[in-house]
Chains A and B, each alone.
Chain A
Amino acid sequence: MTRKCRHGVAQGILCCVLLCFSSPQQANAQAKQRLLGMSYPELHELPDWSGWWGLSDALIVELIRNPPPMKSDTFAKFRSAFSRDLDPDPGRYCRPSQFVGYSGGFTESVEFLFTPGRVTLTNEAGLIRRIYTDGRALPEHPDETNTGTSVGRWEGRTLVVETVGTNSKAKFPGRYAGAIPIGKNVRITERISLKDQNTLEFDVVTVAPEVLTAPDRRKRVYVRLPKQGATEVSFCVDFDRSIDPATGKQRFDMTPPADLAPPPH
């Protein structure tokens, strides 16, 4: 046995002894002490993800460049339906934000809020993801919700987020014409870390057995935006010149605004 190995064995024995002689409460307390960001003063130990973050590509562009491993030819059918505006869903823009692996960042900026035991990811289109970092486990039988249930843990400066219980009817790969329900037993794992002060990288692995033949793996690189506040981004509006609310189909409504300036004399 090498010296290094003997050292490792000794450490293991010590851990076992400590655990054996600790009460469950003490063990729990020791485990909680290892969690980061559990009090307001401790939040300063976490990396600086303040401000707003954006992507340079729309989701649809990313997906066309790097298609997810969808079953049979469903992605080709989706692309065709999307480009030809087939099978539109009139309500797709007026449903609450739903998380199926993409947190926004293109038309809507993303922000992170750190509070003790929790990271909240929001975007300007209304997505709110509550990521519990207080050491709790994922529920074994989660309710289906639009954002799923997320827990996170800090591995050094990387936040690892596990999400289950997403809405099985949420449209995959996004709220587009031709998208399909993502189905049940979805599990999404994200590893989020700063690459430099103004670059935040998401490694996302999506397991969705009803629509994917294999885990979908993708990397998204967010850039810190030079903006001070939020801009409202809404696709669910009283009057959308581009989408017919009755059919969901694209249109180009040329009804003039009531307050048009008159033509010049």
Chain B
Amino acid sequence: MKKTNKAESSAATRRAPILAIAAAWFAIASSAAAHHSYAMFDGTRTLSVTGTVAKLEWMNPHVFVWVHVPNPKAPGGYDLYAFENGSPHVLAQHGWTKVTLQSGEKIIVEYWPLKDGRHGGHFLRAIHADGRVSLGAGGPNAATSGSIAPGPQQGKQGPRQP
């Protein structure tokens, strides 16, 4: 299993803070819980994993991202991770579509981990193999971490997926 603390992230991950600053420029609001309180996530730290997209579950009230993460000790050689993301409405306003993450695509996911230790958490951002960054929406401390704080774009553009 490839799972690192944020400080140990890859070169691609190190590019993310620059993009995060740009993201914060248009993320005009503070972090926000519209549906629930995010109490289940550890907002004090972020982790990252490298894996292969198993599914982008595009549904209300929250989009979920499923990722196979290699782990030689796991049955089948993989752990299945689940990441909660913002709502389709908020993500769509910020450029996401249901094919922003494609099954079979290799990505790095940064996330706030679940407090109970299971494999998953709240999606912060994904870094595609070509270096593009797809920012998540919502989550604990979203405004200070580079996740999109859901809200109107006000015509400004940040780093987006095509």
Which residues does A use to contact B, with CB under 8 Å?
Answer: 54-61, 82-85, 93, 106-109, 124, 177, 222-227, 231-235, 237, 240-243, 250-252, 254, 256-257, 259-261, 263-264
Label chain B's interface by main secondary structure.
loop
B90 with A56: CB separation less than 8 A:
no
Label chain A's interface by main secondary structure.
loop
Mask: chain B, 87-119; 1 = CB below 8 Å from A; 0 = not: 111101100000000011000000000101011
Interface size class of B (residues with CB under 8 A): 35 or more
List 10 A-B residue pairs with CB atoms under 8 Å apart, sorted by A's residue number.
Answer: A56-B29, A56-B152, A83-B39, A93-B61, A225-B93, A232-B89, A242-B84, A256-B66, A261-B103, A263-B76
Specify which of B28, B37, B55 is in contact with A82 (CB 8 Å cutoff).
B37
B153 at the interface (CB under 8 A from A): yes
B136 at the interface (CB under 8 A from A): no
B77 at the interface (CB under 8 A from A): yes
Most buried by A among B64, B87, B120: B87
B89 with A223: CB separation less than 8 A:
no
Closest 4 CB pairs of A and B: A58-B32, A56-B151, A54-B152, A261-B103
Specify which of B32, B104, B119 is in contact with A261 (CB 8 Å cutoff).
B104
B52 at the interface (CB under 8 A from A): yes
Most buried by A among B36, B52, B92: B36
Chain B residues with Cβ under 8 A from A225's Cβ?
A: 93, 152-153
Chain B residues with Cβ under 8 A from A60's Cβ?
A: 32-34
B92 with A177: CB separation less than 8 A:
no
B126 at the interface (CB under 8 A from A): no
Mask: chain B, 41-67; 1 = CB below 8 Å from A; 0 = not: 000000000001111010111101010
B60 with A237: CB separation less than 8 A:
yes
Chain A residues with Cβ under 8 A from B78's Cβ?
A: 263
A57 with B64: CB separation less than 8 A:
no
A263 with B62: CB separation less than 8 A:
no
B68 at the interface (CB under 8 A from A): yes
Chain A residues with Cβ under 8 A from B57's Cβ?
A: 257
Min C-beta distance of A242 to chain B, whole Å:
5
Chain B residues with Cβ under 8 A from A254's Cβ?
A: 80, 82, 118-120
Closest to A84 in B: B39
Min C-beta distance of A182 to chain B, whole Å:
20
Min C-beta distance of B26 to chain A, whole Å:
10
The answer to whether A234 and B60 touch (CB under 8 A), given A83-B39, A259-B55, is yes
B2 at the interface (CB under 8 A from A): no
Specify which of B33, B60, B84 is in contact with A233 (CB 8 Å cutoff).
B60
Min C-beta distance of A106 to chain B, whole Å:
6
Q: In whole angstroms, how far apart are the Cα atoms of A233 and B152 in the complex?
A: 15
Min C-beta distance of B61 to chain A, whole Å:
5
Specify which of B37, B60, B64 is in contact with A250 (CB 8 Å cutoff).
B37
The answer to whether A264 and B55 touch (CB under 8 A), given A56-B151, A106-B150, A256-B66, is no
A264 with B32: CB separation less than 8 A:
no
B129 at the interface (CB under 8 A from A): no
B28 with A56: CB separation less than 8 A:
yes
A54 with B37: CB separation less than 8 A:
no
A241 with B84: CB separation less than 8 A:
yes
Q: In whole angstroms, how far apart are the Cα atoms of A58 and B80 in the complex?
A: 31
Chain A residues with Cβ under 8 A from B62's Cβ?
A: 240-242
